[in-house]
Every structure is written in structure tokens, then in C-alpha cells.
Amino acid sequence: MEYVALSNGVKMPMLGYGVYQVPADECERCVSDALKAGYRSIDTAQSYFNEEGVGRAVAKSGIDRKELFLTSKVWVEFYGYEAAKKSVLKTLEKLQTDYIDLMLLHQPFADYFGAYRALEDLYDEGKIRAIGISNFYADRMVDMASFCRIKPMVNQVETHPFNQQAELKKWAGKYHIQVEAWAPFGEGRGNMFTNPILTEIGKKYNKTAAQVILRWHIQSGVVVIPKSTHIERMRENIDVFDFKLSEQDMAQIAALDKQTSSFFSHRDPNMVEWFAKMVEERKHQHDSSKEKKNW
């Protein structure tokens, strides 16, 4: 495993396992498989409704807590200082841990400054080892970095070969904010797993397109958290530390950039409305103590 030192010195694995869209009733099995495959960093979120499954797998694994790196994210419904603080304490309970390695604000909507102040205070109290943001485009990221007390250490954003985020990476570097890729494969959109350039590059190293993509991210200094519910793919996705892409390979992958999201823009007012509606719809799910179906 390779690690990166965040701006506060905390060591973060360059590769972890993401559990978005892993159903609550499958999450414990998936995270157990990932831990068996060698993953030590797990990325979940309050809004994935599967933090409890992560917690159970971690508890049953017997792995020393210090070897693990657990990330979760505060959902928009819990923004504002008091609600965010309470929600993080609940996440700690669900994950069955005394501290979270990285806590992010999931979206740049509603009272995110209030929520961020809660993260800062929990960081001071030692309940969170690193704090950050997610889906903050360069302008929101610089806003946050400029007006907060403790600068975000990580920004988790959509990035993959078809949306390389050169501008955001440049600004993140200026503020010592580590970029972490969500959907490092773009969830396979645009036939990424069978892209001829990526598969041709892979043939030289006896690697798949998926492995080339992850290696490209890591060599670009980006942390990755690929998701798979299949143990053989989990093994494939972590097996990326025994080869190195050449400068020419890197240049060929750079040329695949379409400079646009494969999903949606957080700046699109229609999407902001969609998020606001989703926050309302999920309220009853979070009210329940039982894990619910994923979204």
C-alpha cells in the first residue's frame, strides 16, 4: 500500500474500498471480503444507510483499529452546527469506534459552514483525525478554505479518465487539500472498462483497464476508493502497486479527458432542486433506527 500524508500529517492510504450503493444487508459481507483482500481504508456515508454494516465487519475482523482508516460523510439533512455534531456522534456509534479517521461534508448545499464548524470542534476533541469536504467545486473549495478555522484536508470529487478535474486539482494543490476520487472508474460509464487505449496500455503490464485507471489516479497523486461487491474484483482493484505507467501512458490517458462530468453538475439549479427534494425524502429514513434500503 502507498500512503499520502495529509496537511496535518495524518497518513491516508492511497487506495480504499467505497460502499456507495452497497445494500445495507450486503455491506457487512462486502467489507469483510474487502478486509480479507487487504483493504484497510473504507469509505461510507450517513446517506448510504450502511454505516452499521461497516461497523460490524470492522468489529468482527479483529484488525487493530490503528491499522484501519475509516471515512464517513455528514448528510445535508444534518447540516448546521448542532445537528452535524450529533450526527457524527451517531456515526461513531454505528461504526463501533471512538474516532473517525476522516469525516467529510457530503455536499456543498444548505448550512455547510455551520456543519463544518462542528467538524472543526470534533477534530479539536480528537473524535475525528482529519476533516474535509466532498463535491465542492474549485470555487466552493476556495471559499471554504478561505473562511474556515481549520482548512479542509481532503476534497472528494468525481474524477476519472473522462473527467480529470485539472482546474480543481490545481487549486487543491495551492491549499494543500488532498484530492480523492469518487467514481474512480466513472462507474464504468462510456465503456471505460473496455476502452481501447486503457486496455492496450494494460496489455503491456498484464493488467486490466480497471487496474490501469487506478494506477493512473495514484500516479497523479489522487486517492482512490473503488467499489465492487465481487471479491475477485476487489482483489483485482487492490493489485496495482507492482507496476508503473510510463510518461507516454500517462499522456495517452490525459488525452481521454472530456472535461465534463459523467453524472451531473452540482452547479445546475435543477440538480440543486433535486438534492433538496432528496433531502426531504430521506428524512423519514434517517429517523428510523433500522438500516434501510440504499438509494
Just list the catalytic residues: 48
Instruction: Report the alpha-carbon distance of residue 187 to residue 162 in Å, rounded.
Output: 11
Q: Which of 182, 216, 266, 279 binds ligand NAP (CB under 6 A)?
A: 182
Question: Which amino acid does the sequence have at 257?
Answer: D
What is the smallest separation between the CB atom of 122 and ligand NAP, expressed in angstroms? 19
**Residues 5-24, mask of contacts with ligand NAP (x by CB under 6 A):** -------------xxxx---
> What residue has cell string 461534508?
105
- Considering CB under 6 A, how many residues would be counted as binding ligand NAP? 27
* Rounded distance between C-alpha atoms, residue 196 and residue 202, angstroms: 10
Interface with ligand NAP, residue 108, by CB under 6 A: no
Residue selected from 225, 245, 253, 279 as contacting ligand NAP according to rule CB under 6 A: 225
Is residue 183 at the binding interface for ligand NAP, with CB under 6 A as the rule?
yes
227 lies in the binding site for ligand NAP (CB under 6 A): yes
Smallest gap from Cβ 167 to ligand NAP, in A, equals: 19
Q: Which stretch binds ligand NAP (CB under 6 A): 81-89, 108-116, 220-228, 279-287?
A: 220-228
Give the E-state strand segments of the chain in sequence order.
3-5, 11-13, 17-18, 41-43, 69-74, 100-105, 128-134, 154-158, 178-182, 223-224
Residue type at 109 in one-letter notation: F
> Binding to ligand NAP (CB under 6 A): which residues in 50-89?
none
184 binds ligand NAP (CB under 6 A): yes
Query: Closest approach of Cβ 63 to ligand NAP, in Å?
Result: 19
Neighbouring-strand partners of residue 133 = 105, 155
Sign of CA pseudo-dihedral 43, 20, 252, 196: positive
Strand partners, 180: 156, 223
Minimum distance of ligand NAP from residue 186's CB (angstroms)? 6
User: Binding segment for ligand NAP among 3-11, 55-63, 187-195, 273-281 (CB under 6 A)?
Assistant: 187-195
Rounded Cα distance, 235 and 37, in Å = 6
Looking at residue 26, what DSSP letter applies? H
Stretch that binds ligand NAP, among 75-83, 170-178, 230-238, 254-262 (CB under 6 A): 230-238
